Structure 1
Amino acid sequence: MIRLFLICFAFSLLSPAYAQTKKAQDLYNQAIRLFGERRANEAIPFMQEAIKADPTFTDAHLKLGQLYEFTRRPEMALAAYREAIRQQPDKPATAAAYQSASSILLRQGHYADAIPYLERFATFFAPQSAQGQRIQRQLESARFGQEAVRNPQPVTPRPLSESLQTTPSQYFPVLTADEQTLVYTALKPEGDEDLMIAGMKGEVWSPPVSLSDQINTPENEGTPSLSADGRMLVFTACQGRRGFGSCDLYISRKTGDTWSEPQNLGPAINTRYWESQPSLSADGRRLYFVSDRPGGQGRRDIWRSDLDASGNWQEPVNLGAPVNTPYNEASPFIHANGRTLFFASDGHVGLGGYDLFVADSLARGWSTPTNLGYPINNADDQAALFVAASGTRAYYSFEEQKEGGSQKSRLYVFDLPESLRERVKPVSYLKGIIADARTKKPLTATIELIDLSTNQVVTRVSSDEQTGQYTAVLPSGGEYALYVTVPGYLFKSLSFDFTQRTKGEGMSLSVPLEPIASGKGSTAKETLNNIFFESGRFELESKSKTELDRLAAFLKTNPTVKVEISGHTDDQGSAATNLELSKKRAQSVVDFLTRAGIEPARIQATGYGETRPLVPNTSDENRRLNRRIEWRVL
């Protein structure tokens, strides 16, 4: 539409035009008439004949270039524009030739060739005029693109899999944290867009199938976003469902193998304007999306909304500058680390059209976006990027522009270059099954990751009520406590020290939970893995508070339960010293619980020293496991 506007603008600007001969003028007029009737292909021979009749007819060269461009023959259009410029380089009427020639060269990625045309084109306008400023933006892009091409990123994109190419086009890929499940938008031959799903079988993607009959309809569904465990989906639908605006966002949840009927995200998220291109945080509790609603920085902006404790989406907040611009931002993707945002924009300086950028969430706000460079970005529009939780691979769709049309879009993957890996703080993931330790029945559990330095919840997810399966993202660069809780069961605590971790990895851990069972013969017990003491001392370290608060809350929720707090050591040092140390450590925990309001009669401290090792004291790691605090239901 923009190209058509420029062409029509140029025709009106330069008309009428006069040739040196009547024959050339008549042929020229006939071509203009045909173009006005939308018969551009028929107009071209008449314009060619007009030029043969009068080779110095500059306006005919210009109009021929515009006809070639309108019929998608850019090389022939460029040759015609260059001839018009050669004949009359300084006349204001030739400004349109400079404009069109530079635009073609920019679209082709020929930045160095475009710069002289843009510089000459700029001389026809005042620097502060709207057109003058637009040309300066193009010059910025051309110079940036020229430098980016000189210094390319070491990237080698490769097609994701031929088995996925079952429809004319595939785009907007998203994956689970373990990269074993892929969901994407597929364009069918009849023009319908559906969401497809494929699974990794060994090293090969399985043939894709429709995500769900509950989700896909004869109308269009697209731009999916998944939570890290693949059990929460937000997508866009623009017709066929009752909504608030031209395009709305919908949510569906997976239980077992079944997706729920999609629900509109409601009036806080959806408006009478355009909402699309969602991106869920790893735990599904924060949503980024694009909207053209009022109150933003530009035309289409990136917005953010959080899920409150009651499960309602809060009023969205505009990300503001420097992420959003007066122009268009698109397809946000928040990495599983929760702080690195990838997005597309035609407002930031790039290589032309929409480029991909990255920005980081900092204490003071968002960092200045960084262009991902060439060849990730090029002269074509780049729609979206998905970066794996590990920070090692990126997935996207690629559509190569061709003469007279375009190639169908395909899914591609590439290894993220080191310069970008340094920007993406990787995350690990933990997955497995939560089940009753005795009956093996799957349990619906709440899994929470707590930052021990701040006592703040980093991630909160639930296990599948039918299968007990869960996936929890574990950030790098800190010490974390992971809690698995189910009413009626002892909670499980796990400890992760990722202060030195620089690479993400996947870990499998199925968690059996002990049901609360008190009285004679009770064996229900757990290790408190996030209780910390200095070596040889019994004073609790401050980061133990998270764990102790959890235990106090458990005892308040279960007021009839009595527990034994037992201390254990390794075999280093004398047995008597270890026994005394274990008693004092257990008593420190009891003292904390008493101060937290737990009746002293419900808790007792016992020290076992080195007499009850979990594993043989044959290594530093084994000795670490034997130094522990346990709690047992009495």
Structure 2
Amino acid sequence: MQAFAQRQAVETINLLNQAIERDTGYTEAHLKLGQVYEFTRQPEQALEAYQRAIRQQPDKPSSGLAYQFVGVYLLKRGQYSQVIPYLERFSKFFAPHSAQGKRVERLLQTARFGQQAIQNPLSVKPQPLPAAVQAYPSQYFPVLTADEQTIVFTVLKPEGDEDLMTATRQAEAWSAPVSLAANINTVRNEGTPSLSADGRTLVFTACNERNGLGSCDLYITKKTGNAWSDPQNLGAVINTSGWESQPALSADGRRLYFVSDRPGGVGRRDIWCSDLGDDGEWKKPYNLKTINTPFDEASPFIHANGRTMFFASDGLVGMGGYDLFMADSTANGWSNPQNLGYPINTADDQAALFVTANGTRAYYSHEEAGDKQRSKLYVFDLPESIREKIKPVSYVKGIIADAKSKKPLNATIELIDLATNQVVTRVKSDSETGQYTAVLPSGGEYALYVQVPGYLFKSLSFDFTQKREGEALALSVPLEPIVSTDKGGPKSETLNNIFFETGRFDLAEKSRTELERLVQFLQQNPKVQVEIAGHTDDRGDAAANLELSKKRAQAVVNYLAKAGIPATRIRSAGYGETKPLVANDTDENRRLNRRIDWRIL
């Protein structure tokens, strides 16, 4: 004991072993030996010493220290079956509702969950990303665009600096990573990025910045053409004098989840959420109280469907340390988090997960123990048991340009749920390139509107009521200017979200979204006069089709008139089956020919 007090570890171990040689049943010596091995960071030797003490005096409170170490150490190693008997006996030392009793019970829950999870493994086969991408000793926190063609991640450089890097994919080959931007990476640390679906809005963490509000703050930057704007601190609404990190942007960049240790949370580090207002300012964050625990949550990721969140927690029952969970946002709040299972989760801490828009693959980083700590990027196919819980999304991407000059346009693209008339997604096209990417949810009917001041708006219709799998669409959109240089004026546009029952001319309720857009356009352009034209396919009597087309066009005009558009600015016309867009030779072509067009007079 004198040697131990003087921190003479080698001498202490030698003397304790001599004592044990004289009396192998000397339990106190085994306990003290375990403590010294703990102190000198020799866990294997500590485990053996403590296990000997437990075997000699399994029911004495003095063995509590040994039980504590053995329980925690075996759990960290994932030896769940071996640790359960120790924890069950240890739990009998305490009253069930005491603080220590609850702590041991929590360890027992972890051990039983881990044992069950290992007995029922998921089919997961992680593959490292190509060596060309893994150019640093450690790279982690990967995020990708919706099309999986661009990846951004954090690297730890040999000099200890964290920076953001990016790589792009051509076919199946990844480029070597390059610095995201010289005006983003500094000599200080930047990391944990989050990208919008189109890859043109990025939120990241920077620590100890000169214009920071706390130890670590969140910053935002936007990409135009190939240039990123100078990062802006998200301000005092989002950042505090404490710690803000690990952002997760929604696909359209209008909702932000992040981790903070600010006051008012459930635990020490909680997940918070803020929405972007129509004024372009972030609203006061709110705490995800049904997700957060009295312990720590970390690395949230919101799937492109806007409702499924993946996150790490050390407060929910798992396999030890931080496990990855998923939960869905519903009309009644967040669903109970579900552990992703083994081997996605193990006894090691799990950092973060990025799941692709179509819900088929996941990207993550994994630390590999060795001579030096290394972290690599991996991808794996999600098991069907997880995939079926994720509502996949499609995405549409392309270029928006002037139909005549081909000049790229800075357009607003809005996706509307026709059942609720609510905006699901709102994004902008790149003002230099005209490129855009918009996420298309599955399982509903949606209208997509492309608008630029001075141009006719374009409406597109997507019916995903019968589809589950996310499918990518390439769709470039030419817009017709209101004031045309052509003698014939601008071409007509089809109102793709006007709906009628077969053979009828009364407007279906889900047509309201489209009609309101047309009203809005006419209100914003008070000098414009339009013709609303009805068309049918070639089925049935030609005269009856002509009459039906006239009545359908008139129904739209009547709606506009009731909305306050002067009758002098709108007129209706019916053309029956005389002006088909395509040959009436398939059901799909006939559907295209049954339409309402509008054009500037």
Q: TM-score, normalising length from structure 2? A: 0.97
How far did 1:392 drift? 0.3
Give, in whole Å, the separation in 1 of the partners of 2:94 and 2:541: 89
Give, in whole Å, the separation in 2 of the partners of 1:174 and 1:248: 19
Determine the structure 2 residue equivalent to 1:7.
none
How far did 1:69 drift? 4.1
What aligned pairs does 1:595-610 form with structure 2 within 5 A after superposition?
595-610=562-577
Determine the structure 2 residue equivalent to 1:30.
3
Determine the structure 1 residue equivalent to 2:591.
624
Contact 1:31 1:46 in 2 (8 A): no
What aligned pairs does 1:68-107 form with structure 2 within 5 A after superposition?
68-107=37-76
Give, in whole Å, the separation in 2 of the partners of 1:67 and 1:193: 37
1:205 aligns with 2:171: no
Determine the structure 1 residue equivalent to 2:104.
135
How far did 1:372 drift? 0.6
Give, in whole Å, the separation in 1 of the partners of 2:59 and 2:544: 96
Question: Alignment RMSD, CA only?
Answer: 1.7
CA deviations 1:447-480 (Å, max 9, x no partner) are 0000001101000000001111000000011100
How far did 1:73 drift? 4.1
Query: Which shifted more, 232-241 or 451-460?
Result: 232-241
1:572 aligns with 2:539: yes
Give, in whole Å, the separation in 2 of the partners of 1:330 and 1:442: 40
Give, in whole Å, the separation in 2 of the partners of 1:140 and 1:609: 71
Give, in whole Å, the separation in 2 of the partners of 1:569 and 1:276: 56
Contact 1:235 1:277 in 2 (8 A): yes
Contact 1:435 1:442 in 2 (8 A): yes
Aligned-partner residue type, residue 260 of structure 2: S
1:233 aligns with 2:202: yes
Of 346, 355, 364, the residue aligned with 1:387 is 355
Residues 66, 414 of structure 1: alpha-carbon distance in 2 compared, 3 angstrom cutoff = farther
1:268 aligns with 2:241: no
How far did 1:387 drift? 0.6
Of 521, 528, 531, the residue aligned with 2:488 is 521
Contact 1:490 1:525 in 2 (8 A): no
Give, in whole Å, the separation in 2 of the partners of 1:205 and 1:80: 51
Contact 1:112 1:142 in 2 (8 A): yes
Give, in whole Å, the separation in 2 of the partners of 1:73 and 1:196: 38
What aligned pairs does 1:554-569 form with structure 2 within 5 A after superposition?
554-569=521-536
Determine the structure 2 residue equivalent to 1:341.
309
Determine the structure 2 residue equivalent to 1:493.
459
Determine the structure 1 residue equivalent to 2:184.
215
Aligned to 1:409, the other structure's residue is in SS state: strand
Contact 2:482 2:490 in 1 (8 A): no
Give, in whole Å, the separation in 1 of the partners of 2:505 and 2:258: 50
Give, in whole Å, the separation in 2 of the partners of 1:34 and 1:320: 46
Contact 1:399 1:406 in 2 (8 A): no
Contact 2:547 2:574 in 1 (8 A): yes
Ranges in structure 2 where 5+ consecutive residues have no aligned partner: none
Q: TM-score, normalising length from structure 1? A: 0.92
CA deviations 1:262-299 (Å, max 9, x no partner) are 10101110011111111000000000011111111111
1:291 aligns with 2:248: no
Give, in whole Å, the separation in 1 of the partners of 2:573 and 2:15: 101
Give, in whole Å, the separation in 2 of the partners of 1:184 and 1:66: 41
Residues 406, 349 of structure 1: alpha-carbon distance in 2 compared, 3 angstrom cutoff = farther
What aligned pairs does 1:296-311 form with structure 2 within 5 A after superposition?
296-311=265-280
Determine the structure 2 residue equivalent to 1:319.
288
Determine the structure 2 residue equivalent to 1:176.
145
Aligned to 2:168, the other structure's residue is in SS state: strand
How far did 1:586 drift? 0.8
What aligned pairs does 1:407-426 form with structure 2 within 5 A after superposition?
407-426=373-392
Determine the structure 2 residue equivalent to 1:372.
340
Contact 2:84 2:111 in 1 (8 A): yes
Aligned-partner residue type, residue 117 of structure 1: Y
1:448 aligns with 2:414: yes
Aligned-partner residue type, residue 474 of structure 2: S
Give, in whole Å, the separation in 1 of the partners of 2:120 and 2:36: 36
How far did 1:81 drift? 1.6
Give, in whole Å, the separation in 2 of the partners of 1:164 and 1:70: 40
Of 294, 297, 304, the residue aligned with 1:329 is 297
Give, in whole Å, the separation in 1 of the partners of 2:11 and 2:391: 57
Determine the structure 1 residue equivalent to 2:444.
478
Contact 1:99 1:117 in 2 (8 A): no
Of 136, 141, 164, the residue aligned with 1:167 is 136
Determine the structure 2 residue equivalent to 1:587.
554
Determine the structure 2 residue equivalent to 1:11.
none
Aligned to 1:583, the other structure's residue is in SS state: helix
How far did 1:91 drift? 2.6
Contact 2:394 2:470 in 1 (8 A): yes
How far did 1:246 drift? 1.3
Give, in whole Å, the separation in 1 of the partners of 2:188 and 2:109: 41
Give, in whole Å, the separation in 2 of the partners of 1:236 and 1:386: 17
Determine the structure 2 residue equivalent to 1:542.
509
Q: May I ask how many residue pairs the two structures share in their alignment?
A: 600
What aligned pairs does 1:503-518 form with structure 2 within 5 A after superposition?
503-517=469-483
Determine the structure 1 residue equivalent to 2:365.
397
Aligned-partner residue type, residue 357 of structure 1: F
Identity %: 69
How far did 1:43 drift? 6.0
CA deviations 1:297-353 (Å, max 9, x no partner) are 1111111000001100000011112x1111111111111101111111111111101
